[in-house]
């Protein structure tokens, strides 16, 4: 019995139809294909302004693809972006049996984590650290499980840049911080699938402000990585276990802090020493017994 063929995605349909479309619709179609997330969340008028096109061209494009109008195409794009796996964590579980299955799981996980770290691109991190060094202010956005990575990077950077680093949403609702991004800032956004809505909104706000966007993500197609000036990839799904791995993201965050500090030279060292003296005066650490 013949197996049913998978339904073509609206993006595939769009790309296949491009060569046969009029030149003006080809331009709009390429814009939609390159910005499919924005196409599902922004108004047709906003999209047209960014694409330099007439809003009606989006309606004509949708009708050329067989939809009743732009709303129909946008609904199809939205549906296509829904995760196929409704259980992103429990769906990763695999039964292990045997007398040492627990030990083998640990061994396999450590091996996968080490292999993932080895594949992180050092040069990309160094380039991103230069952008952090040059930025007037640094904003760090990480939500849900990625909040821990964001807080780690925020803490380490603030040790030597205490007045210039801020956690998005650290002092209130994150949407209040999004309007404070400026073109001389750098915004670090951290995420992996399934992506949090807040991370995507933070990345979009960074792009709209003209700030340098640095994305720490699990894939090049991550929605919060679109338009990033620096994309730092880590492996989240290759490690066994029910939950994706954050080991690579943590390593990238700590490397960014280390290189940014090194680039700061004597000024960064002096600020770090000032912070250490203040912490010591406040007795923040347990004194070692002689």
pLDDT of residue 4: 40
Cα(232)–Cα(240) distance, integer angstroms: 22
pLDDT of residue 74: 83
Q: In the predicted model, is pLDDT for residue 263 greater than 60?
A: yes
Q: In the predicted model, is pLDDT for residue 257 greater than 50?
A: yes
Q: In the predicted model, is pLDDT for residue 124 greater than 80?
A: yes
Q: In the predicted model, is pLDDT for residue 284 greater than 70?
A: yes
pLDDT of residue 129: 96
Q: Which CATH class, in words, describes the domain spanning 10-80?
A: mainly alpha
CATH topology of domain 120-281: Rossmann fold (3.40.50)
pLDDT digits over 11-68, tens only?
888 888 888 999 889 999 999 988 877 787 778 888 889 889 999 999 999 999 999 8
Domains of the chain, residue spans: 10-80, 120-281
Q: In the predicted model, is pLDDT for residue 93 greater than 70?
A: no
- What's the number of CA atoms in the CB half-sphere (13 Å) around residue 86? 0
pLDDT greater at residue 138 or residue 244: 138
pLDDT of residue 86: 56
Q: In the predicted model, is pLDDT for residue 106 greater than 50?
A: yes
pLDDT digits over 67-89, tens only?
988 988 888 887 776 655 555 55
- What's the number of CA atoms in the CB half-sphere (13 Å) around residue 271? 16
Which of the four pLDDT bands, split at 50, 70 and 90, describes residue 127? Answer: very high
Cα(43)–Cα(119) distance, integer angstroms: 39
pLDDT of residue 3: 43
């Amino acid at each position: 019995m013949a197996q049913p063929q998978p339904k073509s995605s609206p993006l595939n349909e769009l790309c296949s139809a491009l060569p046969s479309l009029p030149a003006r619709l080809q331009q709009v179609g390429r814009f939609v294909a390159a910005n499919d997330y924005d196409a599902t969340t922004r108004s047709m008028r906003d999209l047209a302004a960014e694409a330099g096109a007439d809003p009606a061209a989006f309606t004509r494009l949708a009708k050329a693809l067989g939809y009743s109008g732009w709303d129909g195409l946008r609904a199809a794009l939205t549906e296509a972006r829904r995760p196929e796996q409704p259980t992103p964590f429990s769906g990763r579980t695999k039964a292990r049996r045997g007398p040492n299955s627990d030990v083998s799981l640990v061994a396999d996980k450590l091996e996968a984590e080490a292999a993932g770290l080895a594949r992180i691109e050092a040069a990309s991190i160094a380039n991103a650290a230069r952008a952090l060094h040059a930025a007037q202010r640094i904003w760090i956005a990480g939500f849900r499980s990625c909040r821990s990575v964001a807080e780690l990077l925020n803490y380490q950077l603030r040790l030597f840049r205490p007045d210039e680093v801020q956690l998005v949403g650290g002092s209130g609702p994150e949407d209040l911080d999004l309007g404070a991004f400026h073109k001389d800032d750098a915004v670090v956004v951290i995420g992996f699938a399934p992506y949090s809505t807040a991370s995507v909104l933070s990345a979009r706000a960074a792009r709209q402000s003209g700030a340098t966007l640095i994305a720490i993500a699990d894939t090049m197609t991550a929605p919060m990585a679109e338009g990033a000036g620096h994309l730092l990839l880590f492996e989240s799904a290759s490690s066994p276990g029910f939950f994706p791995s954050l080991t690579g993201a943590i390593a990238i965050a700590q490397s960014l802090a280390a290189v940014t500090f090194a680039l700061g030279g004597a000024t960064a060292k002096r600020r770090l020493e000032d912070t250490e003296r203040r912490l010591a005066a406040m007795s923040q650490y347990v004194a070692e017994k002689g």
